[in-house]
Each structure stands twice: as structure tokens, then as C-alpha cells.
Structure 1
């Protein structure tokens, strides 16, 4: 385990003290609205905390704020007496299934699985409480593919049907006039959702023509298997900024244990600040954790390339979420969904205020309006 810098521990202690002082001055009047922590914060002198927090995340660099903060002990330190247990997933739909099944309480995840979870539960089951990462997704392909037209007749991989990269690929292909199938029927391009490690092996064997992948897997195909970038997803977004990973919490857990969720967000904030101040050390630690979780570290070339494609941010970049939802509808992986209420950034903005940071926006999709 990497020793935590003194200034990181100090940040956690400061956040905890400010939270405590803020809680003591809160009003105890009124009942909280369902799914909203805004009123819950004002309704209780002490925010309730859980005996356990079961957290999901992936062994991907796009989840660096979890890789680093869990491994170096920041998350458990922030949670205090609440026991932290973790589960590792390959893609968002599997994490959502675990959350729906009661196996986890919160998870770092991509936008489209979060949208699907919200839609499937009629807006009741989950809330997005924070951002985590922007960027870090690319369509990488073999030699001989240099334009969308060259993709006709090819087979491309994604991490899982309906995950963020799967939706992005299907939507982009549709915009380029290329048909895909969700059921394996006739199409211009065949999409084969699968484990990322399997994608690397099949691409090396010449059985795949490319893949739309998050980091570090896009860089692994480029550096380790000779792929080249056909499209960097950031080219599709204003100023190249879009949500790749954010943090969702089961609404019931958020309503019952807002104190624990706030401490989780304090840990995420402290970790993100440390990553920003120590990017090289954070990059190395992330790689060490990936080795622990997957059995193999990233090469230096892969690590450097992948890390440079990411931006760690607690801003969920809410403005990009509706577009992601529209992409899912266009791709046929989701029905049109009213996203009003999908965000509850109350606790995050409390944490940011306590650290003299500007609040982040929910893009008008906050839980208070539901």
C-alpha cells in the first residue's frame, strides 16, 4: 500500500471537521423528498451512516480515482467506522445488475449504463452523485481501415452490449450511414461485445478488425497489437469534454445513509486533488493496482499514452448526459428516457464548498425537480 501524503490526510480531516460543523447548524425541521439529499441534509443534525459500503469499480485507468483512493486507504479512512468492501467489474451493465440485485450500494460506471438503470427503474433506483473522469475512449482499428467506409464488412468489439463504448460506437456508425444489429442479423458492421482482455487477444490473432474501448485498452491495442486510431471520441464533443466515468448510488442507500455517501465523496475529492498534484505517482500507483486486479501491469508506453488521454474531474459534465441518452436511443439499446431527477449533486457541492471550490451543475436534471 502506498503511504498517503500528509496533505491528503489533512484534506480529509478538514473536510470531515467542516462537515461536522455544518451538520450541527442544520435545521431538524421537515421531511426529505424521496431521492433527494438536499432536504435530508437540512433535516438532520447528524447525517446517518451505514455499517458497510459496498463499492464497485473497474480495473481501468478511467476509474483511477477509485483505483488510487481505495488502494492507498483514503476511502476507508474517510469512511471511518463504515466498512468498505469492493467489487471489480468489466463493464457497466454487469455493475448495474449487481446494484439491482443488492450486491453493491454504489459504483463508478459509464453514462449509458447509468441511464439504463434509471430508465429501467422508472427513475427510482439510482442517482448520479459525482463525476470521476472525462475522455479516454477511442475507436482503434487494423491496417487498411482509414475511413468509415472501410468498416463495411468488418467486426468490431466493445466491452459489453449497452455499455458506454458500445452505445457510442453504434450511434457513430449510424451517423455515418452504417447499419448494425443488436441480435446478430444482417448489418454493414458486426459488433461483438466481449471482455476487454479477449478483445486484445482476438485482435492480435487477426480475428477482430478493431474496437471502441476505454483506456487503457485502446492504448493496449495501439501499442501492443499495432492498431491505429480511427476516431478519438473527444473529437465528437464540444471542447473534447464528455463524461466517461461517474459515481452512482442506489437511491435507497443515499436516502438512508447520506452521511456515508458524503464521506465517500470527501474521499473522492481528496483522491482527485492528490492525483492532480502528483500525476506521475498516481499513474504509477494506478498501474500497480491494475496489476493486482488483473495479474499484469501495463507497459510504460501503454501507461503513458493512456494516462495522457484522461482528465480526472468530479464534475459529472451533465451537459453531455442527454446526448449520451440520445445516442442510446439511436443505437437501439435504450428507449427514450426522461432524465429529470437522475442527478443528486447536493452532497458533492457541500464537499466542494467546504474546500472552497465552485459548485458543479446538474444541467437541470437534478433530483429536486422530480
Structure 2
């Protein structure tokens, strides 16, 4: 190789190294700039925020926040709020994955499945929302786990949060249930309206359901409580609903996400300070969405059985994932990084409130 060629190669290599260093430097400067903007409240904001939630009382912070226009108040005139409702977690996750929505209120197991399906790239949990409000109600004559052998029990959907809870509880009590309705106990996933009708007709013996169907079955159908799920958890707290956001949207518009979390905190605080008015607002939103408001007695019972909180109760999420693995409904998944509570804790600190944790225990 000639000395001229060697010199040319050396110059080319030097140029490549220099350009790579400049690119890296530029990337670091960009990240630093974005972080500084976020801290100063100047982070990029979206012209539209597409928010999902369910027409269900376990999503009361969303119902109240939308009804009372608390999100719009925090977002300001620069960002338009568009809402979309879902009846099942998997549908909401698909919408998030496709970009049809930017954020959504959702249960823990669909969030875990979305994280697993996307290999940890689709979403982040950014706040808690609701704890409690689920359990197993049964007909008279069933007084223990052993009495369930040969019985039919409904859940809202195969692999959903309550379905996993039931199957894990059965296994812990020496009973098995397969995904085809066989085993010691026949677990029959079906929508909540069908489950209530089936219990009324006597074609099922019980159901593990969330509010308000839990209270509906107790009050209207005289079902008895065999398991109040909160009694199975430390401090009687477990995540029922939390708020997740698309990682892409969070990265592009951290300013908008921060304002979404502000609206969420405002909604939770409104519910805590105005129980009766919050119940009315949630029910009005349910009526607007479904034309079927809850009866006052059921609404009051459901609210009393739920705790609304921005704490995601992270330890219960990790336990739920383990339960899903144990009953064969989830492949082993690494949940490290599923939470990003940075904006939530920043806002809580500004209010003089304690930070919340994403720890597994």
C-alpha cells in the first residue's frame, strides 16, 4: 500500500471519528436540553392528547376528570383532549400499540401483557388510579374453597386481572382450573352483564368480578362474599387501575404528559375532598357514555369499596405478574423499567406530598 493511500485512509478514519463524536455530543446536548426544558416547564407539547378509559366505576378518576373538565383545565388551550372508551383491556392495549390513543387508564394484567408483547418498548406506567373493589361472590351453600369443587365461576375475560386473581387463589387452595372450563372448578370468562344474568338464572355458582358488578350481585342478587380480594393483599391494597402512556408519546411530548398527570392528580384529589359530588360526576359520565347510570345504592357501595390513589402500588403489579405466570397465562417477563414515575413524583413534591415508589417489594 502506498504512503499516499495510507494517508488518505488515516484522514478518512479521523473524519469518521470526528463526525461520530460530534453526533454523540449533539445527542447528549439534545437530551440535556430536553431535560432542562421539562424541568423548566418548557417541554414539547402535543396539539392533541388521545386518552382512553373504560365506562366503569373502577375508572372513576377518568370519569370525574372528564366530566369536570379537569384535564382540559390543566392541558390549556394549546392541546385538545380527545377521549375514547373501551370495554376490555386487550382492546385498549391494541389501540395504544397502533397509535390510536396516546394514554389510557387500564388494569394491571393488560399493561403487563402489553409490556411483554412489545418487549418493553410500548408503554410506561406513570401513575396509580384505583385500588381494591373486586372479589368472589357466590350463592348460598358455598362456604369454603372446598365447596367450589364441581362449581361454575365467571370472570370478566380470560387473562384479565380478576381472571388471574381467581385462578391463582384456586391454585393456592389446592384446586385447578384450565382455560377451557375444565378442572376442579369451571372458570367461565364472560362479560359482566352476561355473568349477572347467568347468576340470576342459576347457570353459574358465583363470579370473581370488579365493582360495580361486585356490589350489584351482593345487593340485587343476594350473593354472599366468599373472598373480598383486598383481604389477600398487604395493607389491603392492590392495583385495580392505573394510568399508562405510550413511550413514543412520552418521549416526544413530556410537557403534555406532565399536564395529563396534573389533571389526574386533580381528579383524585377532587374525589377525596368531594365524595358525594364525585359520585354524581362519575355517574353522570357513565350515563352519558352508556345511557345506564348506576342506582344510588350500588354507586355508594362501589365507591366505599374502592380507594382512589395516584400510588401505583407497584408491589402488587409484580405479584399479579407472578400469579399469571403460575397459572400459565403469562410467559416469564422482566418488568424492570415498566414504571416511569418521574413526572408524578415531581408534581407530588411540588404539592408537599410524599413520593410514591416503583419497587417490587
Name the counterpart of 1:298.
Answer: 294
Aligned equivalents of 1:293 and 1:207: distance in 2?
A: 30
Q: Please point out which of 251, 254, 259 is paired with 2:247.
A: 251
Q: Which moved more, 1:247-256 or 1:200-209?
A: 200-209
SS at match of 2:90: helix
- TM-score (structure 1 length as normaliser): 0.86
Output one character per residue of 1:258-277: Cα deviation in whole Å (capped at 9) or x when no partner: 11111000001111111111
SS at match of 2:202: coil
SS at match of 1:261: helix
Name the counterpart of 1:224.
Answer: 220
The answer to whether 1:138 aligns with 2:132 is no
SS at match of 1:315: coil
Change (3 A) 1:294 1:142: farther
The answer to whether 1:76 aligns with 2:46 is no
Output one character per residue of 1:181-201: Cα deviation in whole Å (capped at 9) or x when no partner: 1234x3111222222122112
Name the counterpart of 1:203.
Answer: 199
CA RMSD across the alignment: 1.9
Q: Which moved more, 1:331-340 or 1:290-299?
A: 290-299
Cα contact 1:29–1:42 (8 A) shared by 2: no
Aligned equivalents of 1:209 and 1:293: distance in 2?
A: 31
Question: Residues 1-370 of structure 1 correspond to what in structure 2 (within 5 A)?
Answer: 30-32=29-31, 40-42=34-36, 46-80=42-76, 81-184=78-181, 186-363=182-359
Output one character per residue of 1:54-84: Cα deviation in whole Å (capped at 9) or x when no partner: 1111122211100001111111221222111
Aligned equivalents of 1:331 and 1:118: distance in 2?
A: 19
Q: Which moved more, 1:254-263 or 1:100-109?
A: 100-109
Output one character per residue of 1:104-153: Cα deviation in whole Å (capped at 9) or x when no partner: 11111111111111111111111000000111111111122111111112
- 1:41 CA displacement: 3.2
Output one character per residue of 1:311-336: Cα deviation in whole Å (capped at 9) or x when no partner: 11001011211111101101211111
List gaps (5 residues or longer) in structure 2: 1-26
Aligned equivalents of 1:302 and 1:183: distance in 2?
A: 32
Aligned equivalents of 2:275 and 2:34: distance in 1?
A: 36
- 1:31 CA displacement: 4.5
Aligned equivalents of 1:354 and 1:77: distance in 2?
A: 18
Number of residue equivalences? 332
Change (3 A) 1:41 1:183: farther
SS at match of 1:363: coil
- 1:215 CA displacement: 0.8
Aligned equivalents of 1:248 and 1:92: distance in 2?
A: 12
Output one character per residue of 1:240-271: Cα deviation in whole Å (capped at 9) or x when no partner: 01111110111111111111111000001111
- 1:43 CA displacement: 5.6
List gaps (5 residues or longer) in structure 1: 1-27, 34-38, 366-370
- TM-score (structure 2 length as normaliser): 0.88
SS at match of 2:263: helix
Higher share of residues assigned helix: 2
Aligned equivalents of 2:186 and 2:34: distance in 1?
A: 48
Change (3 A) 1:94 1:270: same
Cα contact 2:164–2:323 (8 A) shared by 1: yes
Cα contact 2:315–2:360 (8 A) shared by 1: no
